[in-house]
């Protein structure tokens, strides 16, 4: 059974940092690329960052230089380090595996507000 378990969301002030984690079943972690998506309130879901099984990365223009996606092969976990957070980063963040995305986590709320 494939499982994706996300953690790390919360409420922060502008300029602060958060790290999201996505622990995946070993059966998919080594095979598929992983991505973080987000869905802001009232908007469509958008791709934030993507990492291949070989750890090549790609980012949305809106987060380049502030966010970093990485993967820990020993722990079957993908991370999204988010720095210099802005109010417009407020969204539900979800991790996925596969291209196109096939397996999804439950989502975690990130709220950036003063």
Q: Give residue 99's pLDDT.
A: 87
Buried/exposed 44-70: b ≥16 CB within 10 Å, e otherwise: eeeebbbbeeeeeeebeeebeeebbbe
The pLDDT, as a whole number, for residue 81 is: 98
Low-confidence stretches of the chain (pLDDT beneath 50): none
Question: Which residues on adjacent β-strands are paired with residue 10?
Answer: 110
pLDDT of residue 85: 98
What pLDDT sits at residue 1?
77
- In the prediction, which pLDDT does 38 show? 98
pLDDT of residue 3: 85
Of 53, 37, 57, the closest CA to residue 110 belongs to 37
**Residue 20 · residue 79 · CB < 8 Å:** yes
The pLDDT tens digits of the residues spanning 21-43 come to 999 998 889 899 999 999 999 99
Of the chain, the end-to-end C-alpha distance in Å amounts to 41
């Amino acid at each position: 059974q494939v499982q994706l378990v996300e953690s790390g969301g919360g409420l922060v002030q502008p300029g602060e940092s958060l790290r999201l984690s996505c622990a995946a079943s070993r059966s998919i972690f080594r095979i598929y690329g992983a991505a973080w998506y987000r869905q802001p309130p009232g908007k469509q879901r958008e791709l934030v960052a993507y990492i291949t099984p070989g750890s090549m990365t790609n980012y949305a223009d809106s987060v380049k230089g502030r966010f970093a996606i990485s993967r820990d092969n020993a722990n079957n976990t993908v991370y999204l380090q988010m720095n210099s957070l802005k109010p417009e980063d407020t969204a539900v963040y979800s991790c996925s595996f596969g291209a196109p995305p096939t397996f999804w986590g439950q989502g975690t709320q990130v709220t950036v507000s003063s």
